[in-house]
Amino acid sequence: MSDVIIKLSNKNYVNHAGLPFISNFLNDSKVFSRINIISKIKKNSGPISDYDIVKTCIALICLGKTNFDDVEQYRNDKYFKKVMKLKTVPSAPTIRQRLETYDEEMWSALRQISIELIKAYITDEAIEVGGKHYIIIESDVTPFDNSDSKKEGVARTYKNFFGYAPMMSYAGASGFMLNNELRNGDAHSNCAGTDKYFTETIELARQLGSYPLLAIMDSGNDDSKLVLQFIGQGTEFIIKRNLRREPKEQYINYAIDKHKKKIIDEKAGITIYYAQWERQVGDSTIPIAVVVTEKTMDKKAHQPCLMPQFDVEVYWNSLNLEADIVEEQYHKHGTSEQYHSEFKSDLDLERLPSGKFSSNYTIMLLGMISFNLLRITGKQLLHTGMVPGTRRGKRLRLRTVMQNIMYMAGQYTEHARQCVLSIFRGYPWASSFVLIN
């Protein structure tokens, strides 16, 4: 026999009490106007409006609910309906059918909504590089595993599973999602349309403020046309070069002879040479950074090598920074892998729910807005100085925000035309949540 007595209650307890902060953004007049201008079904027209469909989908994604059928558990939820200001919570078939009608006009509106959301929160997101502050833009392809499905656009990815290969771009030190584009699984980093994607992405980034932009990308985007495009757009860049078609010996010899900096670790048998060079692309002379690592011992530093082993890294470097600074900035770019993980795992958006490519494209953009709303929530929580835990970093992972805020328990009551959400005073995250609302 259990010592805990379990009984049913008529009181309305909710396990998604964190929604008010999200709804404050989505119920803003700017968001409404962006959707309503291009909407085929307007607010108060009778049927459920496109605006309500968009709000419902974003709220569900912020709760980690990405399947269409997940909305059914909120159809009779008074709290969900009230806080999201919905007359009717749309059904799963309604959401599925409506998403299939959205096209590039809606996609453009969703991108602009996302930019409007993060604009006010990115003013302190610039990073100092070479004595000057920049908004860092990190872009990369990350495969989505959608194996064992017949969804439109699914193909074998470079990770050797069937799925999609979307391009994702992030901005600022906290990693706000700037843009994304769903692509077929067999699309490569510089596939057709990449120039258009980066033109759009840079234009979006320009709206964030007056800081100059610095794009950092891996060797998948090593393309002379893209380099010239960035120069034409006035965007600085660090792009790792792909040396498959070039002899590495020329860089090794140059770095050893012309290095500006050398680091020696005799115990590990490693010598690193840092050098700066230039390459001609069209009519432009572009600096490149060369980093050559010479190894005379094995990985465990137990056995000497019969012949020295060389690792070569070369970067397009429009700022003409010292090679060691370029290397450091590029390696920080690895943080974007964590952002990919948050989008795919924390929001549960890796396995996209629709069989239609266009619907999944819309869901990707709705996911971007959800991603940024949760990122803003985490940033605001940290600014209160009341977040539990003494080892919090500069940002909260989306999963942390979802588990501790979005899924927070509360009691919802309606009395005298007032709606009250009561949070247990002793809950460690309650004080910080109250401060940001």
Cβ neighbors of 253 (< 8 A, separation 6 or more) are none
* Strand bridging mode 304-317 / 410-415: unpaired
Q: Is residue 84 part of a domain?
A: yes
Domain count for the chain, please give it: 2
Which residue, 377, 376, 353, is CA-closest to 364?
Answer: 353
Q: Is residue 332 part of a domain?
A: no
Q: Is residue 324 part of a domain?
A: no
Q: Are residues 28 and 86 in the same domain?
A: yes
**What token pair was written down for 291?**
């980093």
Which residue, 115, 129, 126, 44, is CA-closest to 372?
Answer: 115
* Strand bridging mode 213-217 / 132-141: parallel
Residue 22, judged by CB atoms within 10 A of its CB (0-12, 13-18, 19+), counts as: buried
With the CA atoms of 373, 376, 382 and 384 taken in that order, what torsion angle do they form, in degrees rounded to the nearest 10?
-100
CA–CA distance, 117 with 230 (Å, rounded to integer): 26
Distances (CA, A) of 129 to 26, 123, 218, 231: 35, 16, 18, 18
Q: Which residues pair with 148 in a beta bridge?
A: none
Q: Is residue 280 part of a domain?
A: yes
Cβ neighbors of 199 (< 8 A, separation 6 or more) are 229, 233
Residue 37's pLDDT is 92
Q: Are residues 299 and 364 in the same domain?
A: no
Q: Are residues 370 and 292 in the same domain?
A: no
Last residue of a domain, one of 315, 331, 363: 315
* Phi then psi dihedrals of residue 417, to 5 deg: 65, 20
The range of the structural domain enclosing residue 82 comes to 12-107+355-435
* Strand bridging mode 162-164 / 144-145: antiparallel
In a structure prediction context, what are the per-residue pLDDT tens digits for the chain, which is 437 residues long? 568 888 888 888 999 999 999 999 999 999 999 999 999 888 777 789 999 999 999 999 999 999 999 999 999 999 999 999 999 999 999 999 999 999 999 999 999 999 999 999 998 999 999 899 999 999 999 999 999 999 999 999 999 999 999 999 999 999 999 999 999 999 999 999 999 999 999 999 999 989 999 999 999 999 999 999 999 999 999 999 999 888 999 999 999 999 999 988 888 889 999 999 999 888 889 999 999 999 988 877 778 888 888 999 999 999 999 999 999 999 988 788 899 999 999 999 999 999 999 999 999 999 999 999 999 999 999 999 899 875 666 789 999 999 999 999 999 998 888 889 999 999 999 999 998 97
* Strands (DSSP E) found in 190-334: 213-217, 236-240, 261-265, 270-281, 284-297, 304-317
Angle, helices 357-384 vs 92-99, to 10°: value is: 110
Last residue of a domain, one of 315, 337, 368: 315
Q: Is residue 221 part of a domain?
A: no
Last residue of a domain, one of 259, 283, 315: 315
Q: Are residues 17 and 103 in the same domain?
A: yes
Q: Is residue 413 part of a domain?
A: yes
Q: Are residues 16 and 100 in the same domain?
A: yes
Which residue, 118, 125, 55, 169, is CA-closest to 377?
Answer: 118
Q: Is residue 220 part of a domain?
A: no
* Phi then psi dihedrals of residue 268, to 5 deg: -85, -10
For 206-236, b/e burial (b = at least 16 CB within 10 A) is eebeebebbbbbbebbbbeebbbbbbebebb
Which residue, 331, 334, 248, 338, is CA-closest to 294?
Answer: 248
Q: Are residues 27 and 91 in the same domain?
A: yes
Residue type, 68: F
Q: Is residue 419 part of a domain?
A: yes
